[in-house]
Chain A
Amino acid sequence: MAAPSAVLQSEWTKVRSVRSTVWTLGSALLVTVILSGLLCLLTNAQWDNFGESDRAGFDPTSSSFSGLLLGQLALIVFGVLVVSSEYSTGMIRTSLAAVPQRGTFYASKVAVIGALALVVGMATAFLSFFVGQALLGDHSTSITDHGVLRAVVGAGLYMTLTVLFSAGIAMMLRSPMLGLGILMPFFFLISPILAAVPGAKNVARYFPDRAGSKIMQVVSINDDRPYGPWAGLGIMLLWVAAALIGGYVVLKKRDA
């Protein structure tokens, strides 16, 4: 059997030796931090124009993650490309010849992607939080306030899970075009739109991104999601597990 540590090392070499890794993860960090910062700056400047209920429901913590809506698209691209490029380039045949134990191969790949996403996700979360709070001025919150640290750490976990969800879906679809073509509109359009439609709302709040993002919230006055922050993350975790298991089944069953 292939030694798991050897395969982990090999997968790490694969991830670090292609440019798309730096590009996608780098832009996820930059887009999230810069966009969140700008929105915090704008909020601070426009504070006097906000209505009473807006002010009461204002959540400085989640405001500093508002750029994530766009930033997460780069994370999806990373998760999809790192898996499906094996198929689109034909590398998968060489990879599986090198590591014929498909479970070991897949677990190592997922572990390396997850670890890298966790590091980048946490860095993005903390950077985005501190930059955002600095720009919010008088309306900022502190990391030591109740629930704030949980929300920041949660944002890092949310980003990690988004990457893993994308990787699992990509493993099932085996094509970068198909993977991106389904995941991008889902995260960017379908899920946010359905969440705003009265009838679909009750279903949409169990989607992975809606459920998972609950953990980034500290002030929940205007929120009607019927679960707490950790339960929300748990729901997202179930989605991720389903996607990863689906990917494993496809990898195990189908010819490379």
Chain B
Amino acid sequence: MIELQALTKRYGGKTAVDHLTFSVRPGVVTGFLGPNGAGKSTTMRMILGLDNPTSGDVTIDGKHYAQLSDPFTYIGALLDAKAMHGGRSAYNHLLCLAQANRIPRRRVDEVLETVGLTAVAKQRSKGFSLGMGQRLGIAGALLGDPKILMFDEPVNGLDPEGIHWIRNLMKDLAAQGRTVFVSSHLMSEMALTAEHLVVIGRGRLLADTSMADFIEQNSRSYIRVRTPQPEQMRDALTVAGLTPVTVGDGSIEIQDADPAKIGELAAQNHLVLHELSPQRASLEEAFMRLTAESVEYHAGVPGVSGVPAPSDQPAPEQQPAWGANWQQQKQKKGQS
């Protein structure tokens, strides 16, 4: 169990991590999500004692990292794929780490086998691809057979095969009862692997919730209907007790409805349908809305907050995407 207590890191006047309090529970994959620059890596470095917190505290099983004897047997971490001397062979890189933590030499061969680097064990890591470097970093994390594993953006820059491998590895590790704490800036990635979710933005905690709850709160489903007779369709839907909403492109969206029923309704009223599809708003959208105010660097997209659209182009129509105000709704719920 990793516990953070009001953990804070300031660099000069800039606060990278701001009173972060949460804990990473054992036996599940906890996703640590935030936009670039949100303070994820800084938080992870403080967990490992590499950076000193300005204030607050972080412990692993109740101890500070530096108090752990042979720390790799408690917690293994992949912080950055290139945190190794390129002139050293993969085998020797792992050997020096094993020796420092009194891990038997045979573990080096075992983890090289696990990550599939046995064939290049004697080669210097300088010549490794990003994916191979990532695998070597993960081999280092697995070396001490630790109960807790921490990965910082493990899928960054990997090819689909590598991404698939890492996903399965994390699931396997959690299935073995280990604590897995993995950071990402991609919601879609987390949705596939994490059971629990910690979201931060500008160093602040935005959400600490189970993945199931997050999905439930943030991805309501709806039906999209396209028809050349929108007026009649809307009337028919309203008569049937549903609430149709016309969105920017002329299609109609209906919350909490059964597509079969809507199809039957259209047939009864002799309405032509061009589309009838159940929709689910992506978690990515929900995540972006959650972190929108805390994003460090906004891209200069026309029409997006603060950036005026060029006058020769019509500003894109603001679509009233559902769930836009979920935070406020949540607050209201909390108050009631």
Contacts and interface: CB of A to CB of B under 8 A. Distances in A.
B51 A17 contact: no
B68 A18 contact: no
A94 B140 contact: yes
A1 interface: yes
Contact of B50 (A2, A86, A93): A93
* Category for how many chain A residues contact B: 20 to 34
Contacts of B97: 10, 94, 98
A9 B104 CA distance: 13
A108 B220 CA distance: 58
* Category for how many chain B residues contact A: 20 to 34
A90 B66 contact: no
A199 to B, nearest CB: 42
A2 B67 CA distance: 9
A85 B45 CA distance: 20
B100 A7 contact: yes
A8 B153 CA distance: 32
A176 B82 CA distance: 18
Given A94-B140, A98-B72, A10 B99 contact: yes
B68 A100 contact: yes
A142 interface: no
B102 A6 contact: yes
Q: Count chain A CB atoms within 10 A of each CB in B80, B89, B96, B102 and give the residue with the most.
A: B96
A256 interface: yes
A241 interface: no
B101 A13 contact: no
Given A13-B95, A18-B88, A94 B100 contact: no
A256 B87 CA distance: 21
Interface of A: 1-3, 6-7, 9-11, 13-14, 17-20, 85-86, 89-94, 96-101, 255-256
Query: Which 6 residue pairs spanning A and B have beta carbons closest together?
Result: A10-B100, A17-B92, A255-B51, A10-B99, A13-B96, A100-B66
